[in-house]
Amino acid sequence: RAKIKTWASPNQKIKLVIDTEQDISIVRMENGFQTADEIAALDRLYEKEATSGFLWDLTAVEILDFDNIERDANYRIDRVLNNYQKTAGKRKRTAGVFSGNPGRMEQAIHQTLAVYRSKTESIEFEVFTDIGEAMTWINEEKDCLAACGN
Confirm if 25 and 16 have CB atoms less than 8 A apart: yes
For residues 107 and 22, the model is more confident at: 22
Q: Which of 84, 91, 93 is nearest to 134 (CA)?
A: 93
Per-residue pLDDT reduced to its tens digit, 106-144:
788 778 878 877 887 777 888 888 999 999 999 986 655
- Closest by CA to 51, choosing from 144, 138, 110, 119, is 138
Tell me the chain's radius of gyration from C-alpha atoms.
Answer: 15
Using CA atoms, how far apart are residues 7 and 39, in angstroms rounded to an integer?
13
According to the model, what pLDDT value does residue 26 have?
95
User: Above 60 in pLDDT, residue 7?
Assistant: yes
Separation of alpha carbons 96 and 38, rounded Å? 15
Q: Which residues contact 147 (CB under 8 A, 6 or more apart)?
A: none
The model's pTM: 0.81
Chain Cα centroid distance, residue 8: 15
Tell me the C-alpha distance between 149 and 113, whole Å: 31
Task: Tell me: pLDDT of 100 over 80.
Answer: no
Type and span of the H or E element at 20:
none
Which of 42, 13, 15 minimizes the C-alpha distance to 30?
Answer: 13
Distance CA 80, CA 67 (A): 22
How far apart CA 61 and CA 28 sit, in angstroms, is: 9
For 38-97, what is each residue's pLDDT tens digit?
888 988 888 877 898 999 998 888 766 777 878 888 888 888 888 887 777 777 888 889
In angstroms, the CA 42 to CA 32 distance is 17
